[in-house]
């Protein structure tokens, strides 16, 4: 809904105040709207001329959202650092065509550090209905730090996979849940030293890391190849992936995750 509002404001040439009611993803602050086809499959990124004029986040409102939405936001934020790092290593471009600067990488790294430090405690407090300092930091991480980090740092394989999975009607995962799965695949491909820590974090907060946990345990080889084809059509993100991968290797990695 916020992405629709950003598009409407853009074409109507009107100022925009964004007031998210959940911390389920990092789009509220960005100058990007993600467009989807009517069947829910990914279409494209629409690059806007400017970011929202004002973003107002009421912590009490966001904390009252369904817990699954906030956890999904953790999945989206979890990938921010690793995708920005990959983009920088690949000499790729961020979401507005520039090189990821140092500040973007610092913000992206802050996402990961905040989640590792506060994510589990924040989920525990949210389940008890408490708006604690950990919850405050998590909401800032999911919405602001990740928003600045992904937009200025760039996206890579994790988001390409999340977008590719949208071609499957049976995939009912939220965006951030699919991104978490995509991140695990990306880190396996890169043989990243943080893989075990990421897997442990996902397990503790309840983010999916396997096809089965996405509800795709019975996915056919044909569907997996179709997903791989969709992933590679996401050329902007794939160009930022530092590790080279083929479609066959991608299918293998998704099955192993």
Domain 59-256 has CATH 1.20.1090.10: yes
The yes-or-no verdict on residue 146 having pLDDT over 80 is yes
Confidence bin at 232 (pLDDT 50/70/90): very high
Confidence bin at 31 (pLDDT 50/70/90): very high
Confidence bin at 257 (pLDDT 50/70/90): confident
The whole-number average pLDDT for the span 76-85 is: 98
Distance CA 146, CA 110 (A): 9
Residues of each domain in the chain carrying CATH 1.20.1090.10: 59-256
Confidence bin at 66 (pLDDT 50/70/90): very high
The yes-or-no verdict on residue 107 having pLDDT over 80 is yes
∠ CA 2-173-183, rounded to 5°: 95
Q: What is the model's pLDDT at position 11? A: 93
User: pTM for the whole thing?
Assistant: 0.96
Distance CA 109, CA 94 (A): 16
The whole-number average pLDDT for the span 88-117 is: 95
Give the mean pLDDT of the chain: 96
Residue 115 has which token pair? 């989640």
Of the CA atoms within 13 Å of residue 123, those in its CB half-sphere come to: 22
Q: In the chain, pLDDT over 90 holds for what percent of residues? A: 98
Distance CA 158, CA 202 (A): 14
Q: In the chain, pLDDT over 70 holds for what percent of residues? A: 100
Model pLDDT for residues 184-223, shown as the tens digit of each residue? 999 999 999 999 999 999 999 999 999 999 999 999 999 9
Distance CA 143, CA 137 (A): 10
């Amino acid at each position: 809904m916020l992405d629709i509002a950003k598009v409407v404001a853009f074409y109507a040439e009107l100022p925009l105040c964004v007031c998210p009611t959940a911390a389920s993803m990092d789009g509220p602050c960005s100058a990007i709207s993600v467009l989807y086809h009517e069947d829910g499959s990914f279409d494209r990124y629409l690059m806007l001329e400017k970011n929202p004029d004002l973003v107002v986040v009421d912590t009490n409102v966001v904390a009252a959202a369904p817990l699954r939405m906030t956890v999904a936001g953790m999945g989206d934020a979890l990938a921010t650092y690793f995708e920005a790092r990959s983009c920088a290593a690949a000499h790729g471009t961020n979401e507005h065509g520039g090189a990821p600067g140092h500040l973007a990488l610092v913000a992206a790294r802050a996402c990961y550090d905040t989640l590792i430090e506060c994510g589990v405690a924040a989920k525990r407090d949210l389940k008890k209905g408490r708006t604690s300092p950990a919850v405050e930091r998590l909401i800032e991480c999911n919405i602001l730090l990740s928003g600045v980090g992904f937009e200025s740092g760039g996206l890579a394989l994790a988001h390409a996979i999340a977008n590719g999975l949208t071609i499957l009607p049976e995939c009912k995962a939220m965006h951030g849940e699919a991104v978490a799965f995509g991140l695990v695949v990306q880190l396996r491909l890169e043989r990243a030293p943080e893989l075990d820590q990421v897997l442990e974090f996902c397990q503790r907060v309840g983010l999916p890391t396997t096809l089965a946990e996405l509800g795709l345990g019975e996915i056919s080889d044909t569907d997996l190849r179709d997903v791989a084809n969709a992933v590679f059509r996401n050329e902007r993100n794939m160009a930022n992936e530092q590790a080279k991968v083929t479609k066959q290797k991608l299918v293998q990695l998704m099955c192993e995750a």
